[in-house]
Structure 1
Amino acid sequence: MHPSRPSLVHILVPVKRAIDYAVKIRIAPGNKGVDTSVKHSMNPFDEIAVEEAVRMREKQGKLVESITAVSIGPPKAVDTIRTALAMGADSGIHITVPEGTVVEPLAVAQAIKKLIERSGNTDLVILGKQAIDDDTGATGGMLAGLTGWSQAAFASKLGVSEDGKVEVTREIDGGLEKIESKLPLILTTDLRLNEPRYASLPNIMKAKKKKIETLKPEDLGLDFTPRLETISVSAPAERQGGGKVETVAELVSKLKEAGVI
């Protein structure tokens, strides 16, 4: 059971520093990972999560009390938190790890659970449905399992009433599913939930003055030692060039040779 819920909602939004979506991924020497010495930015699905939290406050200002952005990563992850603050989050929490540390989904879920317990008033956690670097899509479900809270994954529409009732439209194979829940809730965002805003220059300047708390894993009693081992990473096979045919009969012949027909 969640403790007596306050009338105002406190939202926690995890944001990940990931390789920028426009960067062409290259395999790192040793074939154990990808080259990370490239441009990074906030995971796009996490941008959607921040945007939804801010929109909720804009639409229902009397409902949302606070929005806290949290990121686990090296010192440069502070930039990701600052982006969330410039978009409208109120404060940030940075759990620091050395550069190059791989923090697995279970460790992330355990860290968020610790922050929920530490705050004592978190009602809603909004996460991106997946990170574009590892694509596991596992953290939201793991967090729901650890906390025992309800979860709504792949949300494409969200509505929260003042009595804590949540209506979520989620994308499923072949259509949409509408579900209802009560706070507290774990929500993961789908691509069509919203279109994130660009932070304005005044808000970027204001973000520099907002508070970011810095913690180490041991401050929360956490151990980020990896449980998984990457055996190898390889690029997909290059596509073969196409060929030209002169007649329909030749096309049919080629398709038969390829086993298509």
Structure 2
Amino acid sequence: MQVHFYKYQGTGNDFVIMDNRDGRYDGLTQQQVHHLCHRRFGIGADGLMLLNNQPGYDFGMKYYNADGNEGSMCGNGGRCLVAFARKMGLQQPQLRFLAVDGPHEATMQGEDWVNLKMQDVDWVEQGPLYYYLNTGSPHFVKYVDGIQSLDVYTEGRQIRYNDRFAKEGTNVNFVQQQDNGIFVRTYERGVEDETYSCGTGVTAAALTSAGNEATTYRVPVQTLGGHLEVRFTKTGERSFTDIWLCGPALLVFEGQLIINNE
């Protein structure tokens, strides 16, 4: 099979993207997706996305983790797919699309800044040393000191594969408060390693960083791959609405290759 692909990145979270509005890539297998995302034997990416036709929406989003399995919602992926949709000719001021966790809307500022509306959150589990919530994907959030020197792979993997999470998996976010916002590093399930950034992860971290006041927040977020911003309204002790993940989404390159049909 000959594949025409595009490589995008959003704060270092990188993705292979294909225009599948004619259904030509519907038959991609888990092995093929895994191969395409492999950093030594393929293109290399944290995940793969298909831009699909979706009745009632401007497009549909289908997301695969780097291991080849279909994934839950990916925030940075959604932002990159919006930028790609614009490149493919969808020029509406506001784009509406359907992802695995439901409808989303998005706008763009300039050539590469994407504002993506996330799902409302009405449940947050709070333990003595952690938070656990779902922002389209499940996230464990732990506040730490010395985040720059933290062994995210080892500590994140221990939590992701503990007795509670081993079967379904969870993403694990380590967060440190800064003078202006938060610094977030994330171990992602499906990638099974630290990524440079995780959109649903920084969203989860930003929500847990909010104060006690039910008001509108704007949280700057630093990741290994760059800066993001999360805007939201806190409506109750553990409920949030009007959540927006905002940041850059850039085309890296495009190309063609032939992949095995097996």
Q: TM-score, normalised by structure 2?
A: 0.25
Structure 1 or 2: more helix by fraction? 1
Structure with bigger strand share is: 2
User: Rg: which structure is higher?
Assistant: 1
TM-score after normalising by structure 1 = 0.25
